[in-house]
Chains A and B, each alone.
Chain A
């Protein structure tokens, strides 16, 4: 169990957080979210006593670990931490990375530690990499080793600080799968993450950190679907919306499509729908940039929003310039792009206000 009582931390004059009171019950998984720089990492480090709090207490399994007479190394045996940047020892191979701590604090003999390490490697699916060195592994594999290493001491608690944010998106899945497995095994965990669907999946509770403290907390459903306070609402909305701007005809459509795909994958949107989204956008961009050719600078902004309740995608597509409604059929051209858009869309509309065209499309 983790409990903090009026925990405060600042660096010089910079207050990071004030009076944080949180409790994580045994076996609970708590997700910590919030904008960058609000102190999530510092909070985790302070809980692990890697940073000294200004005031307040941290209780781990009932023991106040801020007390001077506490042997913090002993506490850390039961309190694992996994960081964004893996932090493996580059000069040690995988198995030695995992067995280092247990052998060093002599809770295990070398043989026993190695046997345990192989079990852990099997759990993270990396038995074949036991003698590889960190630089020979992908980011996802390194992070899986880091997780195995944190488990080698048989901790009661693990703090995961953005365990996937340094990873190539194609590798986050393998790491999240293991964390999910651990959450089910009854380990007590805190995890800071920007992976909303993951937090929704595994977290018993979500803490939103802002304004130097726990700004709002609730179940994943409460925080992600129905946040109550202003800043939480804004943060969640931003997480749910993909925005993109185009200012030149030479923009990189391939890169845009990759980003759209990554955004959609976060919401498990199927590939057919992803194709429809990309199709609608490609056709709209062609329509608008073709029309405005040479006339003026291109200025397109669009957002893609996923409405979970309705299972719908909302596209808002804005472009500046003269009134131009592509849904009004023109004589010239084959109109093929608009035929495709209206064919895949559930609803569509156009409006013109203050020199700005806005198209709304539901898919």
Chain B
């Protein structure tokens, strides 16, 4: 798992790569929450490079989602690989999150 933060217009884009599972969910949570708590209220999680996620990873997505809601911020996901989209569908997470095909669409929505 690896995260990189880039600024794009008014958005903070967090690029998530690799696997998010039980072994690194804590690390992932910290990396994302650091950005959330840094004051940005518009965040995009770019999942182009995310190739595995388990329930431990999904729960972090949910924590971030709730925190952003509480802050009245805006959280978007983009570029989910088909296998990841499948997991979001199975878990019902697809209906919770705003998911976009790519970063550009996410920003302009």
Which residues of A line the B interface, CB within 8 A?
A: 253-254, 271-272, 275, 278-279, 282-283, 286, 334, 336-337, 339-340, 343-344
- Which B residues form the contact surface with A (CB < 8 A)? 21-23, 51-52, 54-56, 58-59, 82-83, 86-87, 90-92
Question: Which residues of B sit under 8 angstroms from A282, Cβ to Cβ?
Answer: 21-22, 54, 56
Contact present for B22 and A286 (CB under 8 Å): yes
The answer for the CA separation of A344 and B88 in the assembled complex, in Å, is 12
Q: Which residues of A lie under 8 Å from residue B54 when comparing CB positions?
A: 278-279, 282-283, 337, 340
Contact B22 A340 (CB under 8 A): no
- The answer to whether B91 and A339 touch across the interface, beta carbons within 8 angstroms, is yes
Given A271-B83, A275-B83, also A253-B22 (CB < 8 A): yes
- The CA-CA distance from A245 to B87 in the complex, in Å, is 27
Q: Report yes or no: A336 in contact with B52, Cβ–Cβ below 8 A.
A: no
| Residues of B close to A271: CB separation below 8 A | 51, 83
CA distance A272 to B85 in the complex (A): 12
Can you name 11 A-B pairs with beta carbons within 8 Å? A253-B22, A254-B23, A272-B83, A272-B86, A275-B52, A278-B54, A286-B22, A336-B91, A339-B90, A339-B92, A340-B54
Q: Count the A-B residue pairs with Cβ separation under 8 angstroms: how many? A: 44
* List of B residues within 8 angstroms of A336 by Cβ: 55, 58-59, 91
Q: A336-B91, A337-B54 are in contact. List 11 more A-B contacts (CB 8 A).
A: A253-B23, A254-B23, A272-B82, A275-B52, A275-B83, A279-B52, A283-B54, A286-B22, A336-B58, A339-B90, A340-B90
Cross-chain contact A337 with B21 (CB below 8 angstroms): no
Residues of B within 8 A of A254 (CB): 23
Q: How far is the CA of A33 from the CA of B27 in the complex (A)?
A: 45
CB-CB under 8 A from B82, the residues of chain A are 272
- Chain B residues with CB under 8 Å of A343's CB are 90-91
Instruction: Chain A residues near B90: list those with CB within 8 A.
Output: 339-340, 343-344
Residues of B within 8 A of A339 (CB): 90-92
- 7 nearest interchain CB pairs? A343-B90, A336-B55, A337-B55, A282-B54, A272-B83, A253-B23, A275-B52
How many whole Å from A254's CB to the nearest CB in chain B? 6
Q: Which residue of B lies closest to A270 (CB)?
A: B83
Beta-carbon nearest neighbor of A342 in chain B: B90
* Chain A contacts for B22, CB-based, 8 A: 253, 282, 286
**Chain B: minimal CB distance from A67 (Å):** 61
Q: Quick one: given A272-B83, A340-B91, are A283 and B55 in contact (CB under 8 Å)?
A: yes
Closest-CB distance, A65 to chain B (whole angstroms): 54
